Amino acid sequence: MAVETPYVLEQGLRPSATRCFLCGDDIDDTTGSKEHVFPKWLLNRFDLWNEPLTLLNGTVIKYRQLVIPCCQRCNNEHLAGVENRVQAAFAIGPSALVELPSAELYLWMVKIYYGLLFRNLTLPVDQRDPAAGPIVTPEDLSRFRFLHLMLQGLRGIDVSMLHAGTPGSCVIMPAQTSTASHASLNWDYLDIPHVPFLALRIGGVALFTGLEDFGALRPLRSRDEASGRRAAPPAPSGSVSGTGCTVRGDRHVGDPRTGLRRPTGWIQAAHHV
């Protein structure tokens, strides 16, 4: 395998709809492929393909439309293996997720967060005024260049920082699940655009990740371990605005319409990278 070199945004390789989001290579019909921001296995599991997601400017987009340019090499060689391992861990639950190599889960989360921002590059902020530009400009995206640098780790490039600690932290815990009919009731998504943070509920697993917090969430683990206290699961509820968000504000524990139930055998699990 050829040695990879980082794709660094500051080097004039501006993000573009015709360049691989990960390595920056030009893409054409023969070399390009599409990367789903939310992986296909997740869209299948929760039947999200035609479900709506509301973007920063209020634009509603369907999950199936959330694709970003990605070269075949990055897609097949760099992303597929991580995706398969993360998918398998989610199928088992929190115990398997904490056993993943820490960087893999972190990078998987960063890809979703950054990927949504990248998708906004090609969506107009005002559909009635094309001259107003996209929802997210290349300049906006460049503010997230630290996350983009971290993503170079997916290409096998060592981007660790000597003596700088770890870039993010993630808390993993069991989540409430629903017995109601639609699979999407067991899915939640929340992000915060200006303080990189991402929370997901994937079936019976919830993840809360500070993508650039250098371990700020880690004390949650040590505190709970010290006290022996069990961590409460998150209450599924409507998500709020962000880079993209699900819009469901009508879910409440105990509501027979949703069939939400608390998990049995609560455990606590925390994970940091």
Q: Which of 71, 110, 154, 205 binds Zn ion (CB under 5 A)?
A: 71
Residue closer to Zn ion, measured from CB, 138 or 165: 138
Q: In the block, which residue shows the tokens 């992303």?
A: 79
8 Å CB contact between 259 and 179: yes
Contact 29, 79 (CB under 8 A): no
Q: Is 68 in the site for Zn ion (CB under 5 A)?
A: no
Q: Which is nearer to Zn ion, 135 or 154 (CB)?
A: 154
Phi, psi at 177, each rounded to 5°? -125, 160
Name which of 74 and 97 has its Cβ closer to Zn ion: 74
Smallest separation, CB 23 to Zn ion (Å): 3
Give the residue with the Cβ less far from Zn ion, 74 or 185: 74
Backbone φ and ψ for 81, nearest 5 degrees, come out as -65, -45
Q: Which is nearer to Zn ion, 32 or 234 (CB)?
A: 32
Interface residue with Zn ion among 9, 15, 19, 23 (CB under 5 A) is 23
For position 74 contacting Zn ion by CB under 5 A, the verdict is yes
Name residues whose C-beta falls within 8 Å of residue 15's C-beta, 6 or more positions apart in sequence: 9, 21, 118, 121, 138, 141, 142
Stretch that binds Zn ion, among 14-22, 27-35, 89-97, 265-273 (CB under 5 A): 14-22
Query: Minimum Å distance from CB 105 to Zn ion?
Result: 21
Q: Which stretch binds Zn ion (CB under 5 A): 15-23, 59-67, 182-190, 225-233?
A: 15-23
* Torsion on CA atoms 265, 267, 94, 49, rounded to nearest 10: 60
Q: Are 108 and 209 in contact (CB under 8 A)?
A: no
d(CA 140, CA 160): 24
Q: Compare residues 111 and 272 and give the one whose CB is closer to Zn ion.
A: 111
Q: According to CB under 5 A, which residues from 114 to 133 bind Zn ion?
A: none
- Phi, psi dihedrals of residue 28, rounded to the nearest 5°: -130, -175
**151 near Zn ion, rule: CB under 5 A:** no
CB atoms within 10 A of CB 265: 6
Tokens of 14: 């501006």
* E strand or H helix that includes residue 270: strand 269-272
H helix count then E strand count, the chain:
8, 12
| Beta carbon nearer to Zn ion, 78 or 272 | 78
Q: How far is the CB of 138 from Zn ion (least distance, A)?
A: 17
Residues touching Zn ion, count (CB under 5 A): 6
Among 6, 15, 20, 39, binds Zn ion (CB under 5 A): 20
Q: In the bound complex, what is the minimum distance in angstroms from residue 222's beta carbon to Zn ion?
A: 38
Question: In the bound complex, what is the minimum distance in angstroms from residue 150's beta carbon to Zn ion?
Answer: 16
Which residues form the interface with Zn ion (CB under 5 A)? Answer: 20, 22-23, 25, 71, 74
